[in-house]
């Protein structure tokens, strides 16, 4: 994990915009970055990176990382299920949502401090100087959990010149926002800054059951900084921040009403049958999401001759509480899915850089990461679940009395199964200790040729405790045992009591014979009594039987490296090529789907005359490490009025950690190998002081080289040789800005367009039911005078509709659900700078 890293490639095509007056006579301004821990221009650092400046963030109305994807084509961000479940992908790679045990493959850093979970990265961007998106594995300098790339957010340092701004925003859906920033000196050596942001907006998704809005916005963010500049060589920077999100997220639509739809209605529920982009649904409860983040970091920088010493010490805490209607209907099936998550993180980074003006420069460093994760979950059935389950059984068997009969045969009171308020709980804890040792050096072999070599070693240890309990009696049944009892009685004429099973060698042999065949569902091959009719009830065990779990431990160590050559073809033209590797440690499954791995052969070991009581209930306790490699060639050119940047790459991740929802749970699995070949192109052209044109494109050819046991529409499938869902072959972003001056007034008009080619949304939902193609237009117009700025903006002006993601509907076999994108929005912003 490292904040310093390879950074830079191009003058980001529209992703870097030029402040007013910087393009006099069409001359591009030089962009400076510090992601290699020394100031360099984007032109000088040979790495694929996109930089978005504060000016572009303001003009394009980019309020958070979720919005950033509209102008960075290699980046995709999705928010699913709750506000905390935000997933980042770069070049099609990424994961980390829907499970507190899974860190993202895209590392996110704010002022050099690692944010380990998506819930700590989704607040509004406050007082930001720039955002750097580094593409491809970055583990040499950023350590683990950067196997797909890095997003680095850099905020403004306090200034010794007093100044600030106040900004007010209004928009449709009753949107309101207020931002303020002030910075100035406390003495000739100490400066401070304070900034804050508050934003609210009504929900654009409607719960038809109560008329409430969902997908609203309610956020507060505050940041304070102190800068102690002892002299030119030594400084301390103390940063404190806190944020809170309290929102109803996220709205889910029904895109295919399957055979269970009639049952939903029979138990008093409704499903909206209109268009998905009406953004409406019937829910018997609004989702709740409350996320709090806070942190404190101390940055120390000391220059001593040719050496520079840097230290970043950080403490962070996060709490996330959310609850939502799991079945996404107004039927009272699973109204409670309550989650409580807490994280506490300590990080320490130390490094020393060397630069004496000679041919060799470099750095050495170390990084320590310690984190504790606590996760509690409670899921409970509602009053309609018994009737719904009875209807499912009746539809399959023609009898509505199966559950009643089974309860009676087991000596249970009527109504025991699927009783309202019963369900399951999870109590999980994870402690993570890791460290990274790293180094990188640049050697100017000759005047125009530079060799970069770097290496890092990461060691990661995780200790996990997971306790589960079920009060749902039906899901706790051993259906193999239940079915075996019926087969035993049909073969022997005796009740399946322990005494009868052990009565004689003959009856025991019969029992063993019954055991051998009782695991089969009834079919023409295995007709009664040579089958276990109880196994037909298996799909109703929505909460799998609890499997005892001892404390878990993983210990991963991995060396990663970077090797690159860069050659200056001309004063403004550079080519480079090289290889880099990345690493992500084992991820533990801290959900209710955490189950033992399936054995290599069928598990038929008898336990007291019965087969394993957890037969068929295998899953994934953890997913092993990811290892990524990228081979990349690039060209970077910047001239007086334009820039051209090109990257051609072949990138692969072995053991990619996939986590896909199957309808009743998530399937965590390691893909054998996922690869993508691609081209990234970015251009910027300023023909004169008024006009600026940009174009950025990402062209990908993704492939599952090996993925056996992936989650498909009807269970596990072999996806080897297929294209991963959700990865667009073509992603484009183009923008045009016109800047003008009339007397004392300055102004601009800006428009940008985003295109993503059609793709299947997710592997286990057919493309015919859920595909995505993006065609989105954004625009803004602004005017400035004497420190006052006014802007009118619109996002998704053409009201483009597409699905962010899709999944098999929860406990509704044959139905499909999806998350629609945001509709057209507009607003006005008024800012005073002083």
Query: Which H or E element spans position 830?
Result: strand 825-833
Token digits for 376? Answer: 């509690």
For residue 732, pLDDT over 70 is answered with yes
Q: What is the pLDDT of residue 35?
A: 58
């994990």: which residue's tokens? 1
Q: What is the pLDDT of residue 510?
A: 52
Its pTM stands at: 0.87
Q: What is the pLDDT of residue 147?
A: 86
CA contacts within 13 A on the Cβ side of 725: 25
For residue 505, pLDDT over 70 is answered with no
Of 250-259, 373-382, 617-626, 739-748, the range with the lowest mean pLDDT is 617-626
Average pLDDT over residues 113-117: 87
Mean pLDDT, the chain, whole residue set: 85
Q: What is the pLDDT of residue 493?
A: 64
Residue of 423, 436, 379, 454 whose CA lies nearest to 47: 454
Q: What is the pLDDT of residue 569?
A: 93
233-275 pLDDT, tens per residue?
A: 999 999 999 999 999 988 999 999 999 999 999 999 999 989 9
Q: Which of the pair, 667 or 829, is modelled with greater confidence?
A: 829
CA angle 422–427–432, rounded 5-degree value: 160
Token digits for 2? Answer: 């490292």
* b/e 587-599 (16+ beta carbons within 10 angstroms → b): bbbbbbbbbbeee
For residue 796, pLDDT over 50 is answered with yes
């920088």: which residue's tokens? 301
For residue 20, pLDDT over 60 is answered with no
Q: What is the pLDDT of residue 373?
A: 95
SS (H, E, C) 499-541: HHHCCCHHHHHHHHHHHHHCCCCCCCCCCCCCCCHHHHHHHHC
DSSP designation for 764: T
pLDDT band at 710 (very low <50, low <70, confident <90, very high): confident
Of 238-242, 508-512, 712-716, the range with the lowest mean pLDDT is 508-512
Q: What is the pLDDT of residue 606?
A: 34
pLDDT band at 604 (very low <50, low <70, confident <90, very high): very low
Longest dimension (CA), the chain: 106
Q: What is the pLDDT of residue 495?
A: 66
In degrees and rounded to multiples of 5, residue 768 shows phi and psi of: -60, -30
* Ramachandran category for residue 833: left, alpha or beta (phi over 0 → left; psi -120 to 50 → alpha): beta
DSSP designation for 787: T
CA distance linking residue 58 with residue 658, whole number of Å: 35
* b/e 533-544 (16+ beta carbons within 10 angstroms → b): bbbbbbebbbbb
Q: Which of the pair, 546 or 31, is modelled with greater confidence?
A: 546
Q: Percentage of the chain surpassing pLDDT 90?
A: 56
Average pLDDT over residues 420-439: 94
Query: Which H or E element spans position 709?
Result: strand 708-712
Of 432-446, 686-700, 706-720, 775-789, the range with the lowest mean pLDDT is 706-720
Of 36-40, 304-308, 445-449, 760-764, the range with the lowest mean pLDDT is 36-40
CA distance linking residue 81 with residue 248, whole number of Å: 10
CA angle 433–118–554, rounded 5-degree value: 30
Q: What count of other Cβ atoms lies within 10 Å of the Cβ of residue 559?
A: 13
End-to-end CA distance of the chain: 38
Give the length of the chain: 834
CA distance linking residue 132 with residue 607, whole number of Å: 58
For residue 726, pLDDT over 80 is answered with yes
CA distance linking residue 488 with residue 498, whole number of Å: 11
In degrees and rounded to multiples of 5, residue 198 shows phi and psi of: -135, 135
SS (H, E, C) 182-206: EEEECCCCEEEEEEEEEEEECCCEE
Q: What is the pLDDT of residue 104?
A: 85
Q: What is the pLDDT of residue 406?
A: 85
Contact 110, 132 (CB under 8 A): no
458-479 pLDDT, tens per residue?
A: 999 999 999 988 898 888 887 7
For residue 418, pLDDT over 80 is answered with yes
Cα separation values, 749 from 390, 688, 745, Å: 61, 15, 14
Q: What is the pLDDT of residue 365?
A: 95
């106040």: which residue's tokens? 166
Average pLDDT over residues 200-226: 95
* Ramachandran category for residue 514: left, alpha or beta (phi over 0 → left; psi -120 to 50 → alpha): alpha
DSSP designation for 99: -
Token digits for 274? Answer: 């209109």
In degrees and rounded to multiples of 5, residue 533 shows phi and psi of: -65, -25
Of 423-427, 499-503, 756-760, the range with the lowest mean pLDDT is 499-503
* b/e 605-627 (16+ beta carbons within 10 angstroms → b): eeeebbbbebbebbbbbbbbbbb
pLDDT band at 615 (very low <50, low <70, confident <90, very high): very low
Q: What is the pLDDT of residue 77?
A: 81
Q: Percentage of the chain surpassing pLDDT 70?
A: 84
Contact 252, 803 (CB under 8 A): no
Q: What is the pLDDT of residue 759?
A: 95
Is omega for the bond preceding 405 within 30 degrees of 0, making it cis?
Answer: no
CA distance linking residue 676 with residue 148, whole number of Å: 11
State which of 44-48, 274-278, 593-597, 804-808 shows the largest mean pLDDT: 274-278
Q: What is the pLDDT of residue 534?
A: 74
For residue 816, pLDDT over 80 is answered with yes
CB-count burial class (<10 Å; 0-12, 13-18, 19+) for 764: buried
Q: What is the pLDDT of residue 526?
A: 60
């961000």: which residue's tokens? 77
Q: What is the pLDDT of residue 174?
A: 96
Average pLDDT over residues 816-831: 95
CA distance linking residue 775 with residue 801, whole number of Å: 8
59-93 pLDDT, tens per residue?
A: 888 888 778 888 888 888 877 767 667 778 899 88
Contact 182, 303 (CB under 8 A): no
For residue 165, pLDDT over 90 is answered with yes
Average pLDDT over residues 9-19: 32
């Amino acid at each position: 994990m490292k904040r310093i890293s390879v950074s830079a490639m191009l003058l980001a095509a529209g992703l870097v915009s030029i402040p007013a007056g910087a393009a006099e006579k069409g001359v591009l301004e030089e962009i400076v970055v510090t992601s290699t821990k020394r100031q360099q221009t984007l032109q000088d650092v040979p790495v694929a990176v996109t930089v978005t400046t504060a000016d572009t963030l303001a003009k394009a109305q980019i309020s958070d990382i979720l919005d950033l994807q509209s102008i960075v084509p290699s980046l995709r961000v999705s928010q699913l299920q709750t506000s905390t479940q935000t997933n980042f992908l770069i070049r099609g790679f990424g994961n980390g949502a829907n499970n507190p045990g899974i860190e993202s493959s895209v590392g996110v850093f704010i002022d050099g401090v690692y944010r380990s979970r998506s819930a700590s990265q989704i607040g509004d961007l406050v007082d930001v100087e720039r955002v750097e998106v580094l593409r491809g594995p970055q583990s040499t300098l950023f350590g683990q959990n950067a196997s797909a790339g890095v997003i680095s957010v850099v905020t403004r340092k306090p200034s010794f010149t007093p100044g600030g701004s106040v900004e007010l925003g209004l928009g449709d859906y009753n949107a309101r926002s207020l931002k303020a920033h002030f910075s100035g000196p406390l003495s000739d050596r100490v400066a401070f800054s304070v900034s804050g942001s508050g934003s609210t907006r009504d929900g654009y998704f409607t719960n038809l059951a109560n008329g409430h809005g969902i997908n609203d916005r309610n956020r507060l963010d505050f940041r304070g900084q102190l800068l102690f500049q002892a002299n030119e060589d030594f400084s301390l920077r103390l940063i404190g921040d806190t944020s809170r999100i309290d929102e109803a997220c996220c709205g889910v639509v029904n895109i295919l009403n399957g055979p269970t739809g009639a049952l939903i209605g029979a138990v008093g529920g409704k499903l909206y049958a209109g268009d998905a982009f009406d953004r409406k649904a019937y829910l018997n409860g609004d989702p709740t999401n409350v996320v709090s983040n806070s942190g404190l970091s101390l940055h120390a920088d000391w220059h001593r001759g040719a050496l520079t010493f840097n230290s970043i010490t950080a403490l962070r805490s996060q709490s996330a509480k959310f609850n939502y209607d799991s079945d996404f209907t107004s039927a009272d099936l699973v109204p409670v899915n309550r989650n409580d998550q807490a994280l506490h993180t300590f990080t320490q980074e130390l490094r020393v850089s060397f630069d004496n003006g000679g041919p060799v420069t470099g750095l050495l460093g170390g990084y320590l990461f310690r984190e504790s994760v606590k996760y509690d979950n409670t899921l409970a059935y509602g009053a309609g679940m018994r009737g719904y389950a009875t209807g499912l059984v009746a539809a399959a068997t023609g009898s509505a009395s199966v559950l009643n009969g089974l309860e009676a045969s087991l000596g249970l009171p009527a109504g025991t199964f699927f009783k309202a308020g019963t369900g399951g709980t999870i109590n999980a804890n994870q402690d993570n200790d890791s460290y990274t040792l790293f180094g990188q050096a640049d050697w100017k072999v000759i005047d125009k040729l530079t060799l970069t070599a770097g290496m890092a070693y990461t060691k990661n240890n995780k200790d996990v405790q997971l306790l589960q309990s079920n009060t749902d009696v039906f899901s706790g049944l051993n259906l193999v045992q239940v079915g075996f009892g019926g087969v035993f009685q049909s073969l022997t004429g005796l009740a399946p009591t322990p005494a009868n099973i052990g009565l004689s060698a003959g009856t025991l042999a019969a029992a063993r014979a019954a055991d051998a065949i009782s695991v089969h569902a009834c079919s023409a091959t295995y007709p009664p009594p040579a089958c276990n009719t109880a196994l037909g009830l298996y799909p109703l065990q929505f909460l799998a039987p609890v499997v005892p779990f001892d404390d878990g431990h993983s210990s991963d160590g991995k060396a990663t490296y970077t090797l690159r050559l860069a050659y200056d073809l001309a004063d403004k033209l550079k080519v480079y090529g090289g290889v880099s590797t990345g690493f992500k440690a084992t991820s533990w499954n801290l959900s209710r789907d955490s189950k033992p791995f399936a054995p290599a052969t069928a598990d038929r070991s008898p336990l007291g005359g019965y087969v394993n009581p957890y037969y068929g209930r295998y899953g994934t306790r953890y997913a092993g490490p990811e290892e990524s490699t990228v081979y990349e060639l690039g060209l970077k050119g910047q001239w007086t009025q334009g820039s051209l940047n090109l990257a051609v790459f072949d990138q692969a991740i072995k053991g990619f950690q996939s986590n896909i929802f199957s309808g009743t749970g998530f399937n965590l699995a390691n893909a054998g190998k996922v690869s993508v070949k691609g081209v990234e192109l970015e251009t910027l052209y300023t023909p004169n002081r008024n006009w600026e044109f940009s174009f950025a494109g990402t062209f990908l050819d993704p492939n599952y080289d090996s993925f056996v046991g992936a989650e498909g529409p009807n269970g596990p499938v072999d996806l080897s040789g297929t294209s991963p869902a959700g990865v667009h072959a073509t992603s484009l972003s183009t923008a045009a800005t016109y800047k003008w001056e009339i007397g004392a007034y300055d102004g601009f008009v800006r428009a940008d367009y985003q295109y993503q080619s059609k793709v299947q949304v997710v592997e286990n939902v057919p493309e015919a039911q859920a595909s995505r193609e993006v065609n989105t237009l954004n625009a803004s117009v602004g005017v400035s005078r004497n420190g006052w700025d006014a802007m009118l903006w619109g996002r998704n002006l053409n009201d483009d509709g597409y699905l962010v993601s899709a999944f098999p509907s929860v406990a509704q076999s044959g139905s499909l659900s999806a998350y629609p994108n945001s509709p057209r929005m507009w607003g006005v912003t008024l800012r005073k700078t002083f």
